[in-house]
């Protein structure tokens, strides 16, 4: 059964351009519930750990520099089939390939400054949510399961 939550980041470029409110509006109007949220600035060591699967790739150092360049919003979102539905809503990693109406089409500046991150699997949604939030910082609408 598909999981009921995913993890997202509103990245520094979108925060700096005052897109937090408009992005949250798109998220809410597409049926996602905000179950945890905070505005933080990543330290370099944290960013390197979070993006360790990309270590060694050509864009890794620039990615770390960008993701630590200013505040970000980290969020856990709940909805049936959350991971897949949110990936559809954010669109292609490259905004020039993203469909009309997707968050990246609306708010991304480039592949690197692509407005938002979204977990690519239920397992990564769990790992990424646990990376930023303790149990006492989460407020589930699906109270029958372990969140
Ligand atoms: P995201 O999928 O959220 O997490 C990894 C990020 O690396 C990705 O978003 C992009 O911002 C960035 N990224 C992926 N591919 C490239 C690329 N070819 N050039 C620059 N940045 C990239």
Q: What is the CATH number of the domain that holds 69?
A: 3.30.70.141
Domain contains 146 = no
Is 21 in contact with 29 (CB distance < 8 Å)? no
Q: Determine the distance from the C-alpha atom of residue 6 to the mean position of all C-alpha atoms in its chain, rounded to a whole number.
A: 8
Backbone φ, ψ for residue 19 (5° rounding): -100, 5
Determine the structural domain holding residue 29 and report its residue range.
Answer: 5-139
pLDDT per position as a tens digit, 25-78: 999 999 999 999 999 999 999 999 999 999 999 999 999 999 999 999 999 999
Write out residues with Cβ below 6 Å of ligand 1.
54, 59, 63, 93, 111-112, 114, 117
pLDDT at 110: 97
| Calpha distance 64→27 (Å, rounded) | 25
CA distances from 145 to 52, 57, 100, 124, 140 (A): 30, 38, 35, 18, 9
Number of domains forming the structure of the chain: 1
Nearest CA owner, ligand 1 atom 3: 117
Please choose from 109, 112, 116 the residue to mutate so as to test ligand 1's pocket, defined by most ligand atoms within 8 A of CB: 112
pLDDT at 2: 85
């Amino acid at each position: 059964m598909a999981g009921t939550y995913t993890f997202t980041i509103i990245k520094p470029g979108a925060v700096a351009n005052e897109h937090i409110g408009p992005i949250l509006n798109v998220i809410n109007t597409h049926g996602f519930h905000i179950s945890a949220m905070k505005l933080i600035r990543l330290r370099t060591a944290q960013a390197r750990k979070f993006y360790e699967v990309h270590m060694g790739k050509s864009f890794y150092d620039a990615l770390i520099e960008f993701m630590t360049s200013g505040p970000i919003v980290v969020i856990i979102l709940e909805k049936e089939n959350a991971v897949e539905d949110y990936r559809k809503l954010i669109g292609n990693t490259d905004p020039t390939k993203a469909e009309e109406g997707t968050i990246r089409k609306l708010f991304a500046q480039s592949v690197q400054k692509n407005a938002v991150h979204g977990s690519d699997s239920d397992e990564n949604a769990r790992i990424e949510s646990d990376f930023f939030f303790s149990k006492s910082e989460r407020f589930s609408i699906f109270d029958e399961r372990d969140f």
